[in-house]
Structure 1
Amino acid sequence: MDFDRRRVLQGGAAAGLAFAALGGGNLARARSANDGLPLVPDPERRLDLPEGFSYRLLTETGKPMTDGFTTPGRPDGMACFAHPTEAGKLVLVRNHEIFASIDHGRPWGEGDALIGQLDASKVYDPRGGPLPFHGGTTNLVLDAASGAVERDYLSLIGTVGNCAGGATPWGSWLTCEEQMLKPGEERAEKLHGFVYEVPADANGLVDPVPLTAMGRFAHEAASVDPDTGIVYLTEDSHTGLFYRFIPNVRGKLHAGGKLQALAIVDWDSADTRNWPLDWSLDTARKVPVGTRMAVRWIDMDDVESPAADLAARGFAAGAALFSRGEGLAYGRHANGAAEHYFNCTQGGYFGTGQVWSYAPGRGEGTADEQSGTLTLVYESPGPDTLDLCDNLAVAPWGDLILCEDGRGDNYLRALTPGGTIYDLARNAHEGKAEFCGACFSPDGATLFVNVQEPGFTYAISGPWEQLRGG
């Protein structure tokens, strides 16, 4: 079936905002209260998009790949690269968020008949055999002109809960394990909860080497600052921290480095969640939207502890607490200033999401560094406006693309620098699974995104230029 859709854009794309009345959202069935860019229902019940936009289905869970295996389930975080060695080609490196308890979505085919083809030396955790953990990554090579998938294959296997990650300036993907297993749990043979690096030009399974110096915690996303080589990291926990990793050798993460946690100047052990009440913490201090706060960084030790207590130790030492830090992406302002934006999925008074930014200070990561700045950019007033923002991407026109992992209809929302939310897509599939992995092609012409269940990867194209300045 052909899932391409062609429409003509009608009218402008300046996005307005009609906030839902506080407390008026139905958490069980979130709808859209956002003006601007009305979405056209898809007769195929896949993606509702604005007029003039179309999608192409690239891959589907369970379908054969060119390496002989089948496409794994639960596609999640993802990045797009210009192929480092093949002109005219793009590479998508894609996570598969498969936890230890999930049996479906294995890439071994019907009845696991393909497991014998797997190179056991490339498996991180064999789980005692015969079936290893089947989380990890896949690489898709696309023709840049036609958008067709030319080949796809496993690139990392044997990990668990590969949720999000981040692209590096040197052409690789940092895939992050969210599940912190230790030997004996779920038949694990190794520690989990690490970051792994997958080159965009990997031709098959890479050696699965955990970047242990980057810490063992509920890793979610990563963002590499191209000016400094510092890696910023989010943690998917209600009591998570925001981290930075200063590598010993820029661009060589396997050479180790220093892990630190963010603390707010003059507010030790800050609770930034803005929840209405938490008896266990001092919640008298709230963070208004637009507040800019100076930060300091706390050195972390024993970063790969089997006790999985890194966040608790960091908070006790003064680090700031965030509610489910997830999507994280690097952007640059017109004046050249760098910014790392991140989502807190259940932050805010209504627990439906916050968007933060961190602006590095001058001399970031050096002995002479000046304080960076943490800013609360946006807080959701309810699920009908923004419901559980997860993965995040910076659009070529400067807006932030927010993937929802909500409790009703899920949308791709966009957030303008002026604080306006508008809708880019609605998941019209049965089951209303989350959007994830939003990323743009290097030329900005195509937005790639995953629908996690039942497991689809899409390419969306259209008149993006209409959104510039909208």
Structure 2
Amino acid sequence: MSISRKQFIQRAGAVALGFSGLHIFSGCAATRNINPEAISEAFGPLRSDPKGIMDLPEGFSYKIVSRFRDKMDDGFYVPHRPDGMATFEGPGGTTILIRNHEVNAARGGDESAFGSDFALAEKLSEEDFYDYGVNRNPGQGGTTTVVYDTENQQVVRQFLSLAGTLRNCAGGPTPWNSWITCEEIVMQPDDTYAKAHGYVFEVPATAEPGLARPIPIKAMGRFNHEAVAVDPESGIVYLTEDDGEGLLYRYIPNTPGRLLDGGTLQALAVVDQPRMDTRNWKQQAVAVGQTLDVEWIDLEDVDAPEDDLRYRGFEDGAARFARGEGMWYGNDAVYFACTNGGREELGQIWKLMPAGPQEEHDKLELFVEPNDGTMIENADNLTVAPWGDIFVCEDGDAEQYLNGITPEGEIYKFGRNAVSTSELAGATFSPDGSTLFMNIQHEGLTIAITGPWNKAKKWG
């Protein structure tokens, strides 16, 4: 076993204490009176949207922030398939929203920021892209940044902020005001792309147009990355893997807040239960509300040219999870979704609680496993609301809902995709708590939701 969280915090010292940000996400201490079958209408029933975009409770409304193919302020187009997002405090009370785009393989540039045949790519140099591709066929994923005025509910500007990556699905905010964006794909160079993919990248939260340095953080592993969450006390980064045989990872950086300085990648294992299968597919290995002591296994050869990190980690004793997806830090814990977990393979929400000063082990709790598609179907992206509830986006086969879960485990419906069966993605609150941003992915829409949030339990 490697260094513990407690030892790392002691080693990090004042550096970790200097972290700022994420303040609205971490204030509520959750209770654990789990009741996953209790449905609560915390904000009231959903009302049909006359415009047919998003059904919301009475008093709430949405505004379309941007659409696929909108022309941005830097002259590029808004790419397609908006996915994971996070917000940061911007200048003059504005909100900086960084947005992923899950655009995958070559499609002639039509879904990218650069238009048909990548014509606009010539505005940039090859060094601005992580992967410029073979014969000018750059990676079409990446991130865009939206500067938003929540007081007037207006876009100030939007621009491309990372170029040349592939299938940027989710990620997570850091306490040092950046977004970690994750490639949900593993591939070697071929006749289309010139570089290997399957990495994470860091994008600074800036209000002025500009591109992040496209440097992969290879020490954080090469696998089918999904999301990350950062413990603001220690700077440790937790990572999910979108694979039916995936692991749950953590990255201990050599220097807190400087991920490119290198670090140690580890996988979660259950104490005295090596190679636990948490998926609950064939048998109920973990009960809802059950808490497990966990430890961490050091991983070797994390660049994994054979894409076998999950297999090697499992053989060494790591626990197996059913498609780890959305992840967020809040309520002094890390919540993460496993999209296909549970007896009916309809999803699980887990809660990882880092060890306190007097505790030997971190704790892992199966927070919610409804096994009922009318409650939650295939949880994906998630976030923690300012008052402590978890908001969960669905990526199922039929109607798609935005669900709320109280810290006690009560589930309620907050929104419904009324325009299509597209997955919902990227739910995240503005730093001032006034606005919930979210994507309707296949429609290429980013929306901002406002309303009487003070109806929520435990607000303020």
What TM-score, normalized by structure 1, do the two folds share? 0.87
Query: Is 2:344 the counterpart of 1:362?
Result: no
**Cα deviation code 1:311-343 (max 9, x no counterpart):** 0000010000000101100012xxxxx200000
> Equivalents in 1 of 2:205, 2:178: separation in Å?
5
- The answer (yes or no) to whether the contact 2:175–2:232 under 8 Å persists in 1 is yes
> Equivalents in 1 of 2:362, 2:36: separation in Å?
33
Show the 5 A alignment for 1:150-299: 150-184=156-190, 187-201=192-206, 203-275=209-281, 277=282, 283=283, 286-299=285-298
Q: Which residue of 1 aligns with 2:457?
A: 468
Deviation at 1:111, TM superposition (A): 5.6
Deviation at 1:206, TM superposition (A): 1.6
**Cα deviation code 1:203-234 (max 9, x no counterpart):** 31121000000000111001011100000000
- The answer (yes or no) to whether the contact 1:96–1:161 under 8 Å persists in 2 is yes
Show the 5 A alignment for 1:370-381: 370-381=360-371
> Equivalents in 2 of 1:433, 1:143: separation in Å?
27
- The answer (yes or no) to whether the contact 1:133–1:160 under 8 Å persists in 2 is yes
- The answer (yes or no) to whether the contact 1:19–1:381 under 8 Å persists in 2 is no
1:108 to 114, 117, 121: 114
Q: Which residue of 1 aligns with 2:54?
A: 47
Show the 5 A alignment for 1:4-83: 37-83=44-90
Query: Is 2:356 the counterpart of 1:350?
Result: no
Q: Report the secondary structure of 2:404's partner residue.
A: strand
Segments of 5+ residues of structure 2 without an aligned counterpart are 1-34
Q: Which residue of 2 aligns with 1:12?
A: none
Deviation at 1:118, TM superposition (A): 2.7
**Cα deviation code 1:370-406 (max 9, x no counterpart):** 2100000000222111110000100111110000011
Query: Is 2:396 the counterpart of 1:406?
Result: yes
> Equivalents in 2 of 1:126, 1:447: separation in Å?
34
**Cα deviation code 1:244-290 (max 9, x no counterpart):** 10000010001000000000011100000011x3xxxxx5x621100
- The answer (yes or no) to whether the contact 1:213–1:256 under 8 Å persists in 2 is yes
The alignment of Structure 1 onto Structure 2 pairs a total of residues equal to 422
> Equivalents in 2 of 1:181, 1:207: separation in Å?
21
Q: Give the alignment's Cα RMSD to 1 decimal.
A: 1.8
Q: Which residue identity does 1:452 align to in structure 2? A: Q
Q: Which residue of 1 aligns with 2:146?
A: 140
Deviation at 1:149, TM superposition (A): 0.9
> Equivalents in 2 of 1:101, 1:380: separation in Å?
38
Deviation at 1:420, TM superposition (A): 1.2
Q: Which residue identity does 2:296 align to in structure 1? A: W
Deviation at 1:35, TM superposition (A): 5.2
Deviation at 1:106, TM superposition (A): 1.6
Q: Which residue identity does 1:124 align to in structure 2? A: Y
- The answer (yes or no) to whether the contact 2:36–2:368 under 8 Å persists in 1 is no
> Equivalents in 2 of 1:35, 1:53: separation in Å?
14
> Equivalents in 1 of 2:198, 2:117: separation in Å?
29
- The answer (yes or no) to whether the contact 2:36–2:369 under 8 Å persists in 1 is no
1:437 to 414, 426, 433: 426
Q: Which residue of 2 aligns with 1:91?
A: 96
Larger mean Cα displacement after TM superposition, 33-42 or 212-221: 33-42
Q: Which residue identity does 1:89 align to in structure 2? A: T
Q: Which residue of 1 aligns with 2:327?
A: 328
> Equivalents in 2 of 1:35, 1:393: separation in Å?
19
Q: Which residue identity does 2:377 align to in structure 1? A: D
Q: Report the secondary structure of 2:313's partner residue.
A: helix
- The answer (yes or no) to whether the contact 1:115–1:131 under 8 Å persists in 2 is no
Q: Which residue of 1 aligns with 2:11?
A: none
> Equivalents in 2 of 1:235, 1:290: separation in Å?
23
Q: Which residue of 2 aligns with 1:447?
A: 436
Q: Report the secondary structure of 2:443's partner residue.
A: coil
> Equivalents in 2 of 1:401, 1:244: separation in Å?
23
Q: Report the secondary structure of 1:115's partner residue.
A: helix
Q: Which residue identity does 1:189 align to in structure 2? A: A
Query: Is 2:374 the counterpart of 1:384?
Result: yes
Q: Report the secondary structure of 1:248's partner residue.
A: strand
Q: Which residue of 2 aligns with 1:315?
A: 314
Q: Which residue identity does 2:292 align to in structure 1? A: M
- The answer (yes or no) to whether the contact 1:356–1:377 under 8 Å persists in 2 is yes
Deviation at 1:143, TM superposition (A): 2.1
Deviation at 1:199, TM superposition (A): 0.2
Deviation at 1:34, TM superposition (A): 7.0
Deviation at 1:116, TM superposition (A): 2.1
Deviation at 1:345, TM superposition (A): 0.5
Q: Which residue identity does 1:61 align to in structure 2? A: F
> Equivalents in 2 of 1:71, 1:34: separation in Å?
37
Segments of 5+ residues of structure 1 without an aligned counterpart are 1-16, 21-32, 278-282, 333-337
Q: Report the secondary structure of 1:253's partner residue.
A: strand
**Cα deviation code 1:89-143 (max 9, x no counterpart):** 2110000011125554122235643232233211111111323111000011112
- The answer (yes or no) to whether the contact 2:249–2:266 under 8 Å persists in 1 is yes
> Equivalents in 2 of 1:223, 1:204: separation in Å?
25
Identity %: 48
